[in-house]
Every structure is written in structure tokens, then in C-alpha cells.
Amino acid sequence: MKVEEVKKSLRGSIAPIITPFHEDESLDLDTLKSLIDWHIQSGSHGISVTGTTGEPSSLTLKERELVMETAIKAVNKRVPIVPGTGSTNHQESLHLTKLAQEMGADAAMVIVPYYNKPSQHALYKHFKLIADSVDIPLIIYNIPGRTAVNLEVKTLARLNEDCPNIIGVKESNKDFEHINRVLLNCGRDFLLYSGIELLCYPMLAIGGAGYISATANVLPSKVAEVYNAWDSGNVEEALKLHYDLMPLNDVLFKDTNPAPLKAALGMMGKINPTLRLPMDLPADSLQKEIRAVLADYGLVEKIGSEV
């Protein structure tokens, strides 16, 4: 698809899918394919893999390539697919983004490099060189809580001006003033996605294109319905769904993502709930709380102590 066609299609709930592992921590690609089918059948508007929720820093480069390839083939053009291709390493980010294009991804999501805390000038050069190396659209992923550096609006606006294929940003940024200024400075046609669950609905209200919400892993249909209701003009229904999802959103972020997600999906029978160290499943007390919330949503059966 051309850039403008992708911009029209990349709206709604783009589900950032976890990377499933077998009990021995090897990749479980069959389950990944099953999850993708479930998401598409449940109404997710797009698929993303190897973003923060996909534990990319726990994967080898070859494993990231394999997850991307498996996901792109599994999606099979049914919905847009946007793999995460960024890392702390510029050359690795460049390689993965080029590979995503070769594999047939509709776009790539490139995170602000984490740990090394680059300057705004260095961030501009990093993203500009990646954008210049490919033809597919790019979505920048700004998550200062993980990266320890915020991609400033003026830097993003400069990249938008200089790189026609940088079409949007995923903002996992609690500074809502910053988020408003993204559209003010980059233009209302710039694709703005929420990466914070409680801002998914508010982001739509200011002109956002959708969201890339980890909660979609657990309840993809309802997360997608928020956008569907908003897009159809049913604001009250969208707002109701926003508040309906809040207890689930809250419990899934009481430990570092994706640990609670994998615990929840394990309870639902969707995956073997395995993470790679230094990540691990939540403490037993939180797992009990997660199960109770899942039961409230009808996703697992209530147990005696929760009735």
C-alpha cells in the first residue's frame, strides 16, 4: 500500500500482541498465529508485534525477525500489520525496519532508543536516517517512562516536515498538553495513537487515529468497540466502554507490562504464561487480584473465595 492508503487504514485498535513462549522459554509460534487469528476475529483493526508488550529486549535479533515474519504471514493482509523495529542500537533498528519492508509489513513502529538517553539532535538524526532508508510508513513510539527521554514536539514536527513517510506517533506519554501539541504542530492529519490505556478515549476526542493498547491482548473485542462506537458517532457508548474497561486496565498495570498480561492470558487458557528473566510473573497476591477482575468480566470462572 502507498503511504496515503496506509494512513487511511491505520485507525482504531492496533493490538500489540505478546510474544508467547513455551515452558522452556523457546518461541511458541503456533500460539502466536492463534492469537493473531483471535484478534482479527474479535475485531482488532490492526496487529503489532515486537513492541514493548512483545518483550523485544528479551529476544535475540533472529527471534525478532522470526516473530515478524510469522506474524506478517499469519495476518495475510486481513488487517494492517505494524511490527516494532526499534532498539537501543541504530544499526539494528535500521536492519529490522528494512526487513519489515521486505517482508511486506504495512508500516513499522520505531521506538525512541531506550537506556542511552540521546539528545533531541541525535534523535532527529536516528529517525531521519531510518526513514530515508525505507519507503514504508513509520510510526514513532514515544514512551518516556521506559526510555528516560521524551521526544519533544518540535523534534517530532521537524521529522514530520522532513520525512514524508513518518506518518504518526504512538504516545505513551501522560503529559496530555504535550499530546495536544503534537497535532497542533504536526497537523491534524498526523496519526496520533494512545499507548496509555486511560487516554485511549480522550485521544480520540482531540483527533487521534486510535490506540495501541496492551489491554487488547485480554479483551480485544471491547477495546475495538470503543473506537467503533466513537467512529460511528455514538459518543455515549464509547464513553461507557471507556469506563467499563477501567478496572481491567488498572489491574493489568499493577506490575510491569507484560507480566500481568501473560498471567491473565494464562488464566484464560490462551498461552503458557512464561516470561524471560529479568521479567517474571506477578506475585501470587496480584495474580489472585487479576483472576478476580477477569472473573468480573466473565473471562474466567469465579472461585470460591471470590464469590
Residues at the binding site for pyruvate are 53, 212
User: Of the residues 141, 193, 201, 227, which is catalytic?
Assistant: 141
Beta-carbon contacts of 91 under 8 Å, excluding residues fewer than 6 positions away, are none
* 270 noted as active-site residue: no
Q: Measure the CA–CA gap between 135 and 229, rounded to whole angstroms.
A: 33
Helices (H), 52-175: 61-75, 90-103, 120-133, 144-147, 153-162
Q: Rounding to the nearest 10 degrees, give the CA dihedral for residues 216, 278, 266, 239.
A: -20
User: Of the residues 7, 170, 222, 262, which is catalytic?
Assistant: 170
> DSSP secondary-structure letter at 86?
-
Q: Rounding to the nearest 10 degrees, give the CA dihedral for residues 187, 190, 193, 199.
A: 10
Q: Measure the CA–CA gap between 139 and 109, rounded to whole angstroms.
A: 5
- Known binding-site residues equal 53, 212
Cell of 242: 471507556
Task: Please tell me whether residue 8 adopts helix, strand or coil conformation.
Answer: helix
Maximum Cα interatomic distance, the chain, rounded to a whole number of Å: 60
Beta-carbon contacts of 93 under 8 Å, excluding residues fewer than 6 positions away, are 85, 86, 87, 110, 113, 126, 130
* 141 noted as active-site residue: yes
Contact (Cβ atoms closer than 8 angstroms) between residue 35 and residue 269: no
The separation between CA 73 and the C-alpha centre of its own chain, rounded to angstroms, equals 19
Sign of CA dihedral 205, 209, 214, 216: positive
Beta-carbon contacts of 119 under 8 Å, excluding residues fewer than 6 positions away, are none
Contact (Cβ atoms closer than 8 angstroms) between residue 295 and residue 215: no
Helices 61-75 and 90-103: crossing angle, nearest 10°?
20
Q: Measure the CA–CA gap between 46 and 106, rounded to whole angstroms.
A: 10
The residues annotated with a catalytic role in the active site are 141, 170
